[in-house]
């Protein structure tokens, strides 16, 4: 054994799911049971999530992209329609609008919350607008009072992209327990995972039935076991293997969220303010779930982000980028977008870095990240002069 290998701390990723041994054993039980696809575990997870959100109907799917797309279909959004959303999200948010044949209409981000700028939405509404897709970036909830008032005034549906905000609250009410349609993702990077998966919170039994058809080939089971196909449907059902992971995660999610908050408090305590980063809005996150911890690089270092990521990696620390403003991707440029369309989103998208934050991190990891950031910034500033 070399001295180097014993003194190098293990690589610290920007996130890592925690799946406990009891959950792993329960997944084993599913694998031994002879029933792997949608079944009793999915039903139990739907019921548990519904309980969590005040009894509203909840249905699972195999991704948070599928739940968003099927939600738009439930709203009847299709060709010729426009859907308003933010350019600061994972591209899935706009891809689902394209998938149903509608047009994503972007509205710039708010410089403080980094979510859709609620002051700019009305200017983007046209007679073709059918729905709004707000995104709770990093788990920080969009102001639901203002958003839902806007939607009601203009008679728009709301498909909340709450992929990142499981465990967040708005005015003391859990995201998912109120509003129109609410979509969550259970991708492994999200606060609660099923491996891959997602769920949609719906308004009533009729919408829930529509969702069941849409997620699995439009197939309905008639009394007596006969099959009937009522409508087109996707292939987007969740497996019981995945649902067993989700049931295990639900037991620990509140503890995990509390741990994230404690780690972030430590970040704020240890962070060197003189470095010149713009920090995430700590005060507003009182009801957030701290899905990600994202300082913005100082503007003078924005063009050095790749070097920053590399400097951190050399020190054994993973840093993510969530996200570049999506209208600058070539697909959206080909649709007519370009630099300067949404200056706030572009500025944030250029400077954002996602530093390690996950429940299994320990306090020393936070110190290690802060020290590395200080060193890397000093290196970049030194090399520049």
Ligand X SMILES: *Cc1c(COP(=O)(O)O)cnc(C)c1O
Residues 226-245 that bind ligand X (CB under 6 A): none
Q: Does 65 bind ligand X (CB under 6 A)?
A: yes
Contact present, 114 and 107 (Cβ < 8 Å): no
Q: Could you check whether the bond before residue 323 is cis, i.e. omega within 30 degrees of 0?
A: yes
Residues 174-213 that bind ligand X (CB under 6 A): 185, 187, 198
Q: Give me the count of residues in the chain.
A: 385
CB of 161 to ligand X, least distance (A): 5
331 CB contacts (<8 Å, ≥6 apart)?
none
Instruction: Tell me phi and psi for residue 24, to 5 degrees.
Output: -60, -40
Contact region with ligand X (CB under 6 A), list: 72-80, 160-168, 292-300, 312-320: 160-168
CB of 258 to ligand X, least distance (A): 22
Q: In the complex with ligand X, which residue's Cβ is closer, 166 or 271? A: 166
Position among 63, 129, 148, 249 found at the interface with ligand X (CB under 6 A): 63
Residue 317 DSSP symbol? B
Q: In the complex with ligand X, which residue's Cβ is closer, 64 or 311? A: 64
Position among 12, 74, 163, 380 found at the interface with ligand X (CB under 6 A): 163
Q: In the complex with ligand X, which residue's Cβ is closer, 199 or 244? A: 199
Q: In the complex with ligand X, which residue's Cβ is closer, 256 or 376? A: 256
Position among 143, 161, 180, 346 found at the interface with ligand X (CB under 6 A): 161
CB of 195 to ligand X, least distance (A): 10
Q: Where are the beta strands (DSSP E) in 202-339?
A: 219-221, 227-229
CB of 86 to ligand X, least distance (A): 9
Residue nearest to ligand X (CB): 64
1 Cα distance to chain centroid: 42
Give the tokens for residue 317: 């620390």
Per DSSP bridges, beta strands 157-161 and 181-185 are parallel
Q: CA–CA separation, 190 vs 249, rounded Å?
A: 11
When computed from its CA atoms, the radius of gyration of the chain, rounded to whole angstroms, is: 22
Q: How far is residue 117 from each of residues 135, 147, 183, 225, measured CA to CA in Å? A: 11, 10, 20, 50
Give the tokens for residue 124: 């983007």
Q: Does 71 bind ligand X (CB under 6 A)?
A: no
Position among 57, 64, 179, 246 found at the interface with ligand X (CB under 6 A): 64
Annotated active-site residue in 41, 123, 153, 190: 190
Residues 86-125 that bind ligand X (CB under 6 A): 89-90, 92-93
Contact region with ligand X (CB under 6 A), list: 30-38, 59-67, 247-255, 328-336: 59-67
Q: In the complex with ligand X, which residue's Cβ is closer, 23 or 93? A: 93
Residues 258-317 that bind ligand X (CB under 6 A): none
CB of 358 to ligand X, least distance (A): 15
Q: In the complex with ligand X, which residue's Cβ is closer, 91 or 284? A: 91
CB of 183 to ligand X, least distance (A): 8
338 CB contacts (<8 Å, ≥6 apart)?
327, 328
Contact present, 139 and 261 (Cβ < 8 Å): no
Q: In the complex with ligand X, which residue's Cβ is closer, 49 or 372? A: 49
Q: How far is residue 374 from each of residues 268, 299, 308, 367, measured CA to CA in Å? A: 14, 16, 11, 11
Contact present, 295 and 353 (Cβ < 8 Å): yes
How many residues in the shown chain lie near ligand X by CB under 6 A? 14
Question: Is 235 designated active site?
Answer: no
Residue 104 DSSP symbol? E
Residues in touch with ligand X (CB under 6 A): 63-65, 89-90, 92-93, 135, 161, 163-164, 185, 187, 198
Q: Which residues are catalytic?
A: 190
């Amino acid at each position: 054994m070399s001295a180097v290998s014993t003194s190098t701390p293990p690589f610290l990723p920007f996130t890592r799911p925690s799946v406990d041994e009891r959950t792993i054993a329960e997944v084993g039980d599913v694998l031994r049971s002879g029933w792997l696809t949608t079944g009793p575990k999915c039903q139990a997870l739907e019921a548990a999530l519904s309980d969590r959100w005040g009894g509203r109907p909840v249905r699972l799917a195999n991704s948070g992209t599928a739940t968003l797309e099927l939600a738009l279909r439930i709203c009847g959004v299709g060709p010729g329609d426009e859907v308003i959303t933010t350019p600061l999200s994972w591209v899935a948010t706009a891809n689902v609008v394209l998938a149903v044949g509608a047009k994503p209409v972007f509205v710039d981000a708010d410089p403080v919350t980094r979510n859709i700028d609620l002051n700019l939405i009305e200017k983007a509404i046209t007679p073709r607008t059918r729905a709004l897709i707000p995104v709770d970036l990093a788990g920080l909830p969009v102001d639901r009072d203002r958003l839902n008032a806007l939607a009601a005034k203009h008679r728009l549906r709301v498909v909340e992209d709450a992929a990142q905000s499981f465990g967040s609250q708005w005015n003391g009410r859990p995201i998912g327990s109120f509003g129109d349609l609410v979509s969550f993702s259970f991708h492994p990077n999200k606060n609660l995972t099923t491996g891959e998966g997602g769920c949609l919170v719906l308004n009533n039994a009729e919408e829930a039935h529509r969702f069941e058809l849409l997620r699995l080939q439009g197939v309905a089971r008639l009394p007596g076991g006969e099959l009937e196909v009522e409508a087109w449907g996707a292939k987007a059902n969740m497996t019981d293997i995945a649902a067993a992971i989700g049931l295990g995660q639900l037991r620990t999610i509140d503890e995990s969220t509390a741990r994230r908050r404690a780690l972030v408090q430590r970040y704020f305590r240890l962070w060197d303010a003189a470095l010149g980063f713009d920090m995430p809005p700590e005060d507003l996150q009182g009801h957030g779930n701290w899905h990600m911890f994202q300082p913005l690089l100082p503007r003078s270092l924005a063009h050095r982000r790749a070097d920053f990521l590399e400097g951190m990696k050399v020190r054994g620390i993973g840093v993510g980028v969530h996200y570049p403003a999506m209208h600058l991707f070539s697909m959206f440029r080909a649709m007519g977008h370009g630099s300067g369309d949404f200056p706030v989103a572009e500025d944030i998208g250029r400077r954002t870095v996602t530093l390690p934050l996950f429940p299994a991190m320990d306090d020393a990891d936070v110190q290690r990240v802060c020290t590395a950031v200080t060193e890397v910034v000093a290196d970049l500033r030194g090399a520049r002069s």
